[in-house]
Amino acid sequence: MIEKNQTRSEGQDSMPYIICLVHILEGWIDVQQLEDYLNFINYLLWVFTPLIVLILPYFTIFLLYLTIIFLHIYKRKNVLKEAYSHNLWDGARKTVATVWDGHAAVWHGYEVHGIEKIPEKGPALIIFYHGAIPIDYYYFMARIFIHTGRTCRVVADHFVFKIPGFSLLLDVFCALHGPREKCVEVLKSGHLLAISPGGVREALLSDETYSIIWGDRKGFAQVAIDAKVPIIPMFTQNIREGFRSLGGTRLFRWLYEKFRYPFAPIYGGFPVKLRTYLGDPIPYDPMVTAEELAEKTKNAVQELIDKHQRIPGNIMSALLERFHKKQDIN
């Protein structure tokens, strides 16, 4: 009985000590309502803990993907070491290309079909359909550089050269704005050159129907004729499902026509299956005019779209394609 009473007494006596401790803390940190303060902290924990619990697994997956990309880079470490021993920028290009190629393999299961149609030596003009973001060209450029050692020059829109911090990137990867004479010079020097005749207009205004928006542009065809090089058509399956643009709405279309800047929001980044297809080269023919060659090239790109792309494009179908083999769309 004595021990029981003593235990009860000790339990009762402990409460005043806790109350005193609370009052001491209130005075020490100058908070009048410490209990309310603690209740507020408890409320924050109650709200944010579920969010943290939901986010942490995805952070782990993110780390796993970073690890996989690192392994892709490590697998090519000897190639990188050799590249840096010859030229600083070649080493940098090889490193960046390896990172992009790793990202392409992990995030999109990226494939290139018809890479053998790219000449091992000598010039060629590659004409491609422009997605909302031409991430497929970045992947293609990286794959070509890794497998052939060749740098594919590209004609970029003028606004890209005005983006802060992009000058070094554009210089290292040999992007140019033009003019036509410069493009001919690059090809006559034996380099590969890529052009998207649709450019920013096609990026913003085209949609999941994959309409080619070239207008009456034929300058690229004249470049091929003047340089006497073949044209290789190129298209990437599901590029519109990876990223989508709101540029087709009336407001953003008007803004682009008024200021010639891509103000339209872009959304996406979905890990859809991406496959780049290269069509048969269109050989140089001195008897073909620029208008005829431009139309012939447009038809060749359209044939790639008709053969390999589901119309209209569907994001869910493009995601599911990660899990089955290549299928041509008839």
Written in H, E and C, the secondary structure of the chain is CHHHHHHHHHHHHHHHHHHHHHHHHHHHHCCCCHHHHHHHHHHHHHHHHHHHHHHHHHHHHHHHHHHHHHHHHHHCHHHHHHHHHHCHHHHHHHHHHHHHHHHHHHHHCCEEECHHHCCCCCCEEEEECCCCCCHHHHHHHHHHHHHHCCCEEEECCHHHHHCCCCHHHHHHCCEECCCHHHHHHHHHCCCEEEECCCHHHHHHHCCCCCCCCCCCCCHHHHHHHHHCCCEEEEEEECHHHHEEECCCCHHHHHHHHHHCCCCCCEEECCCCCCEEEECCCECCCCCCCHHHHHHHHHHHHHHHHHHHCCCCCCHHHHHHHHHCCCCCCC
Which of 86, 130, 158, 308 is labelled catalytic?
130
Please tell me which residue, 290 or 11, carries the higher pLDDT value: 290
More confident residue, 111 or 78: 111
Residues in the chain: 330
pLDDT attached to residue 25: 54
Q: Pick the residue with more confidence: 307 or 24? A: 307
Give me the chain's average pLDDT, please. 82
Decide if pLDDT at 91 tops 80. Answer: no
> Residue 109: phi, psi to the nearest 5?
55, 40
- CATH no. for 86-322: 3.40.1130
Q: Is pLDDT of 314 > 80?
A: yes
Q: Is 130 a catalytic residue?
A: yes
Region 191-205 average pLDDT? 94
Confidence label for 268 from pLDDT (cuts 50, 70 and 90): confident
Greater confidence, 14 or 265?
265
Q: What is the pLDDT of residue 9?
A: 45
Residue 80 in this model has a pLDDT that exceeds 80: no
Lowest mean pLDDT among 144-153, 224-233, 243-252, 321-330: 321-330
Amino acid residing at 262: P
Predicted confidence at residue 187, as pLDDT, reads 97
Q: How confident is the model at residue 266 (pLDDT cuts 50, 70, 90)?
A: confident
Q: Is the pLDDT of residue 212 over 90?
A: yes
């998207």: which residue's tokens?
Answer: 196
Q: Which pLDDT band holds residue 162 (cuts at 50, 70, 90)?
A: confident
Rounded Cα–Cα distance for residues 329 and 209 (Å): 14
The least confident of 83-87, 124-128, 265-269, 310-314 is 83-87
Q: 241 versus 251: which is more confidently predicted? A: 241
Taking the model in full, what pTM does it have?
Answer: 0.75
In this predicted structure, the answer to whether residue 32 has a pLDDT above a threshold of 80 is no
Around Cβ 206, how many Cβ atoms within 10 Å? 21
Q: For residue 275, which of 316, 324, 232, 312 has the smallest C-alpha distance?
A: 324
Helix axes 77-86, 34-75, angle to 10 degrees: 80
In the chain, the amino acid numbered 247 is G
Q: How many angstroms separate the Cα of 309 from the Cα of each of 155, 171, 241?
A: 25, 34, 11
Q: In 3D, which of 116, 122, 124, 120 has the Cα closest to residue 284? A: 124
